[in-house]
Amino acid sequence: MGYDGNLTPLFDCSCLPKRSAPYTEFFGQDIIAVSQFDRRRLAYIFQRADEMRDLVTHGGVSDLLRGYVLACLFYEPSTRTSASFIAAMHRLGGSVIPITQGVQFSSVSKGESLPDTIRVLEQYSDVIVLRHPDVGSAQVAADAASVPIINGGDGIGEHPTQALLDLFTIYEELGGVDGLKIAMVGDLRYGRTVHSLTRLLLQYDVSLRFVSPDTLRLPLNLMNTVIDSGTNVRETDSVYDVIGDADVLYVTRIQKERFSDTKAYDEVKDAYEITPALMRLAKERMVVMHPLPRVGEIHTAVDADPRAAYFRQVRNGMYIRMALLAAVLGQA
């Protein structure tokens, strides 16, 4: 059945640039949960993320991931997370299949299982970022896949790249993590990012302060884990108790839906808003962080304060994702 004409070969494969993946720490691994990261592996990723910052900051253009294809499979929209991964891949010369809308209307609506969808997409791509509303779906995908899966958030489960970028921001802004007093403020009960960051921080010598209304306190089992770790920890319902000596103020979004009536919500909202007046009580060298989007938890007048780190935090997300993509593809 061979072609009977005289077809000139398209490629001389021996002359083409090759993608090679030497053995590296994260090569071929899935990124599913923060529990995969000990201090050594965190330091590894942070050093790589630092190099990514240098690359971008100095206007360097790299082809580190040229020829690699990332599939962004988002079963629920997340403009921020998908944009961050897309930018990360592009800035390293790689390309992206964006499936960030309408997954539900296509194969999935025909009843295709997540493992099947993953097995199809891995035929086209070298790495897959999955965002899915169901807890545990990232692991289901990883079990099905032969390419690395990066968990871009699985419901109220994990969102490890967010936790990594949070910790990386503390590290970058303050030059390290050990010895810091870190206060988490707002909805500590449902705030997924608070839970993951807290777990990462337990590996360091830090003091933790949890500031929330009574109905939104840190879940019991996580609080017990913190206590059992021997970490210095206190809970309070007033941000004034921590503002004076906190090195980090990690503020989270308080959702109206968590309250039975608008009045209760408004009271809490006002009591926890970070304002310029409050910032005058804070140390000169400290940082305010927020996973964004915010809806009033931090007054916009704080944005100009050099201690406001939340937009730099966003940028760090891109560097962390550049580092992770390069790492699991064996290129970093």
CB-nearer residue toward a copy of itself: 55 or 222: 55
Omega before residue 293 within 30° of 0, cis: yes
Catalytic position from the list 48, 53, 132, 159:
159
80 catalytic residue (yes or no) = yes
Across the strands, what pairs with 183?
Answer: 209, 249
Residue 15 CA to residue 36 CA, distance in Å, equals: 39
CB-nearer residue toward a copy of itself: 28 or 237: 28
CB-nearer residue toward a copy of itself: 72 or 185: 72
The dihedral built from the CA positions of residue 331, 157, 112 and 145, taken in this order, carries a sign that is positive
With tokens 């808003």, the residue in question is 273
Q: How far is the CB of 244 from a copy of itself (least distance, A)?
A: 26
81 catalytic residue (yes or no) = yes
Q: How far is the CB of 330 from a copy of itself (least distance, A)?
A: 11
Q: How far is the CB of 218 from a copy of itself (least distance, A)?
A: 22
Dihedral over alpha carbons 140, 142, 146, 147 (to 10 degrees) = 140
DSSP E strands: which ranges in 144-229? Answer: 149-154, 181-185, 207-211
CB-nearer residue toward a copy of itself: 5 or 230: 5
Catalytic position from the list 18, 40, 110, 280:
110
Residue 251 CA to residue 273 CA, distance in Å, equals: 9
285 catalytic residue (yes or no) = no
Q: How far is the CB of 185 from a copy of itself (least distance, A)?
A: 18
217 catalytic residue (yes or no) = no
Tokens of 229: 């770790």
Catalytic position from the list 24, 41, 80, 90:
80
Residue 293 CA to residue 296 CA, distance in Å, equals: 9
110 catalytic residue (yes or no) = yes
Catalytic residue numbers, as ranges:
80-81, 110, 131, 159
